Amino acid sequence: MPIVAIVGRPNVGKSTLFNRLVGRKLALVDDRPGVTRDRREGEVRLGHLRFRILDTAGLEEAEADSLAGRMRAQTEAAIAEADAVLFVIDARAGLLPADQPFAELVRRADKPVILLANKAEGGAGMAGAYEAFALGLGDPVPLSAEHGEGMGDLLDALEAVLPEQDDDDDEEGGEGKPLKVAIVGRPNAGKSTLINRMLGEDRLLVGPEAGITRDSISLDWEWRGRRIKLHDTAGMRRRARIDDKLEKLAVSDGLRAVRFAEVVVVLLDATIPFEKQDLTIVDLVESEGRALVMGLNKWDLVADQPGLLKDLREKATRLLPQVRGAAVVPLSGLAGEGIDKLMHAVTSTAEVWNRRISTAKINQWLSEATQANPPPAVSGRRVKIRYATQVKSRPPHFALFGNQLDALPKSYTRYLVNSLREAFELPGVPIRLSLRTSK
């Protein structure tokens, strides 16, 4: 089992994080002064990850005179033992001189480091996170150990650095975690037919009449050695026969599917594309921050294929600016054509959704983008964007730091989002942008 060490100066919240991860308050072994309480260990299950965690927080109660040296030794030992290091700072306090010796130890060790900006509940403490970039330990992950916020991002970060783990229910030939994919669309768009074709068996009911009763389910599949979990929403047509009721059902079922998925395939009937319901689903994909691929089903019924494809790709760009560049893939579930292309689009959009871009590259982009098109002055004062970084992935989320950013017009932030999308090739995913203004 891999070992992860929690490192940082006193009071940044290491114990709270330890307790949060281990899931229960570990009784201290002994409370008498002088007894070794230097280190706690626990076993953690976070998502599908399992690891041992080492904490050096017990030292904080040690006598002040001996503290520095012992804490240093303990920290060195923990780092030496660990496969990865969680270096914790207090995002509210910002970076203090006391953080530096620990940062130095971490930096010197040749181990993967995850920089955690703790006490950032409710988005607080971004100023501290900003300062933390200066440590040169990568992008800080904001979290609140006390409130349990940001644990998903911590999981993502750990996943990227810990050695691959044997998962008991790992299928042979499968690679990593299954990719969660939902196929959504209007009744009769051909979802069940497509899923049946993917799975290669008649597991689902298919019928021309809307209203066949079936529950939403998730199905395990494998595409080119990659494990996929398919969620299908044939439930969207469940029981409903009256139009407005159908629409309501479609939205709630669609929402469930969208929340389940990492990549959402909106399956359009190419003979009647882009109906209101399809656009509603795309809005859900955007608001839920998922990746989007458009499937044009029943392509076998289309006479002028090149003409329609061109038309629909234009329409997609116009109608779906939130997820600009989403792949539009013609296919036929019935004939089993285009499924490979669809899955290529799904996996590559998933990759974009998960992508991490280095802070150096983002700041390079920032200087070019603001030179090409400088931010407008607001009430006579120049708006200055000093710094940018990616704070999250899934979907890509960037933060800008500077003066008076709240006053930036929407048109300008839109320009920045489009420019980010182009510069880093981020098609088919929502892009989030946060503005952090300092006085």
| 112 class by beta-carbon count within 10 Å (0-12 exposed, 13-18 middle, 19+ buried) | middle
Smallest distance from ligand GDP to CB 189, Å: 4
Interface residue list for ligand GDP (CB under 6 A): 185, 187-193, 206-208, 234, 237, 297-298, 300-301, 332-334
Question: What distance in Å separates the CA atoms of residue 193 and residue 335, rounded to the nearest whole number?
Answer: 10
User: Token pair for residue 61?
Assistant: 């109660």
Q: By Cβ distance, which residue is nearest to ligand GDP?
A: 190
Question: What distance in Å separates the CA atoms of residue 204 and residue 230, rounded to the nearest whole number?
Answer: 12
Q: Is 370 helix (H, G, I), strand (E, B) or coil?
A: helix
Please give the angle made by the CA atoms of 40, 44 and 48, to the nearest 5 degrees: 165
Helix spans in 265-386 (H): 276-287, 305-319, 339-354, 359-372
Tell me whether strands 84-90 and 3-7 are parallel, antiparallel or unpaired.
parallel
Q: Would you say 121 or 269 has its CB closer to ligand GDP?
A: 269
Smallest distance from ligand GDP to CB 341, Å: 14
Q: Would you say 163 or 208 has its CB closer to ligand GDP?
A: 208
23, amino acid identity: G
Q: Would you say 15 or 188 has its CB closer to ligand GDP?
A: 188
Smallest distance from ligand GDP to CB 293, Å: 16
Q: Would you say 137 or 334 has its CB closer to ligand GDP?
A: 334
User: Token pair for residue 41?
Assistant: 């260990």
Q: Would you say 53 or 267 has its CB closer to ligand GDP?
A: 267
The helix (H) or strand (E) run that includes residue 293 is strand 291-297
Q: What's the length of the chain?
A: 439
Smallest distance from ligand GDP to CB 212, Å: 7
Question: What distance in Å separates the CA atoms of residue 135 and residue 114, rounded to the nearest whole number?
Answer: 12
Smallest distance from ligand GDP to CB 268, Å: 11
Q: Would you say 43 or 202 has its CB closer to ligand GDP?
A: 202
